Amino acid sequence: MTISVGDKLPDVKLAKATADGPEAVQSSEYFAGKKIALFSVPGAYTPTCSARHLPGYVEKAAELKAKGVDEIACTAVNDAFVLGAWQGANNAEDVTMLADGNGDFAQAVGLTMDGSGFGLGQRGQRFSMIVNDGVVEQLNVEAPGDFSVSSAEHMLGQL
Active site residues: 49
Q: Specify the pLDDT at position 123.
A: 72
Asked if residue 108 is part of any domain, the answer here is: yes
pLDDT in tens, 35-65: 999 999 988 887 676 667 898 999 999 999 9
Asked if residue 38 is part of any domain, the answer here is: yes
Looking up residue 128, the CATH number of its domain turns out to be 3.40.30.10
Asked if residue 1 is part of any domain, the answer here is: no
Q: Specify the pLDDT at position 114.
A: 75
Q: DSSP labels for 75-105?
A: EESS-HHHHHHHHHHTT-TTEEEEE-TTSHH
- CA distance linking residue 122 with residue 96, whole number of Å: 22
Q: Specify the pLDDT at position 52.
A: 73
Share of the chain above pLDDT 70, in %: 94
Asked if residue 98 is part of any domain, the answer here is: yes
Asked if residue 80 is part of any domain, the answer here is: yes
Asked if residue 4 is part of any domain, the answer here is: no
Check pLDDT > 90 for residue 143: no
Asked if residue 2 is part of any domain, the answer here is: no
Q: Please give the tally of structural domains in the chain.
A: 1
Range of the domain at 119: 13-158
Q: Specify the pLDDT at position 121.
A: 59
Give me the helices (H) in 2-96, please: 27-30, 47-48, 54-59, 61-66, 80-89
Share of the chain above pLDDT 90, in %: 74
Query: How large is the average pLDDT for residues 1-8?
Result: 92
